[in-house]
A = this chain, B = another copy of it.
């Protein structure tokens, strides 16, 4: 027997990704296909290039989506830049720093890891020491460490790296479209994003932007890239007017990404970042009112506004809480990795999921489930605190409130 119709239950996706897909993105993805060299399709590709530059705030030489998930974009960058034996420094303070180490090693790099405890920022002194120790091809760093909720400033790192002749590759998978990613302002050489986080497009493409320095390094390699599929030189040629044949464009995903980036552009970067802050802050106010502790000691400027790690209270079965949230309320929140597994939840309010009704649904559901697990909080405390935050924000500076009103999203 063939499986039946695809009829998944409705979900409020508040994990670390995928976030809820924007319905306008899903509609765009169901558009009938064009051939990949059809002038109408190549025009769409050119629009995607420009929208990608806009989102990354860059005039970068190269900007296009790598045809795979965020991880494919990271690997494309590292495998295209690194030649066997090159030294790469990876700043590691979470799961995705570990991933960069693993990928860089597979690319044949001599990897030097600059490690901090999970939940901390990169130790720039240790980075400088590592840079001084030997000639380094690149520094790889995670901008938004989804495993810990830490937002890593990049300007200091790029300055240090460039002082020592190294390129900077930044994992912006979770940050693009949700908070400031100032590729040119911070002089990041290669920035890679994902679609399924703050862009609210299904997973499957990895927008990348890289500057002329990185492009020259890729073009000047002495050895061939070990991958054909993830060879940025070939991908760039396919996405350039040369239009050299490579993979068959994942048409529906390109349609979806275009629509997601258009939504970013229409909302405006500042308004969009403000919306992510607003709903993240409301969520955090609610969580604290429920007697839950936020994980991490960073000040708010070094925390991801839209990915909130929460400490699982003593004596609570974290898996059962997540299961009940899904089964009773259709609300998904995230588990954690490695040393944090079982100790924290991660609650995402990214892209389309950054919306008042979802924040309130989450807090109401969580209060109910936690109560049944034995964790007491004043009835309605989470929702009330979030409400109070929204009310205070409405009374706040006019420009932000206006922007939120204009998008029709902030107040809904």
Contact = CB atoms under 8 A, between A and B. Distances in A.
User: Which one of A15, A33, A225, A256 has the highest number of Cβ atoms from chain B below 10 Å of its Cβ?
Assistant: A33
A213 to B, nearest CB: 24
A32 B266 CA distance: 22
A203 to B, nearest CB: 4
Copy number of this protein in the oligomer? 2
Interface stretch (A37-45, A86-94, A304-312, A374-382): A37-45
A182 interface: no
A245 to B, nearest CB: 8
A3 B264 CA distance: 12
Interface in A37-82: 38-41, 44, 47, 50-51, 67-72, 75, 79
Nearest to A18: B33
Contact of A26 (B23, B79, B252, B332): B252
Contacts of A50: 3
Nearest to A259: B6
A243 interface: no
A226 to B, nearest CB: 5
B248 A8 contact: no
Give chain A's interface residue range (CB within 8 Å of chain B): 35 or more
A180 to B, nearest CB: 20
B248 A18 contact: yes
Contacts of A250: 69, 202-204, 253
Nearest to A196: B248
B258 A6 contact: yes
B20 A6 contact: no
Contacts of A240: none
Contacts of A203: 247-251
Interface string A359-370: 000000000000
B75 A227 contact: yes
Contacts of A124: none
Contacts of A227: 75, 79, 106, 226-227, 230
B248 A75 contact: no
A204 B67 contact: yes
Contacts of A51: 2-3
10 contacts: A6-B31, A6-B44, A8-B40, A18-B251, A33-B202, A69-B247, A72-B247, A106-B224, A106-B225, A203-B251
The 4 A-B pairs with the shortest beta carbon distances in the complex, nearest first, are: A204-B250, A202-B252, A30-B30, A26-B30
Interface of A: 2-3, 6, 8-11, 13, 15, 17-18, 20-21, 23, 26-36, 38-41, 44, 47, 50-51, 67-72, 75, 79, 99, 102-103, 105-108, 194, 196, 202-204, 224-230, 245-253, 255-256, 258-259, 262, 265-266, 326, 332, 337
Given A38-B326, A250-B253, 20 more contacts: A2-B51, A2-B262, A6-B44, A6-B255, A6-B258, A8-B32, A9-B34, A9-B40, A11-B38, A13-B34, A20-B32, A26-B30, A75-B227, A79-B227, A99-B228, A106-B225, A196-B248, A203-B250, A226-B227, A245-B337
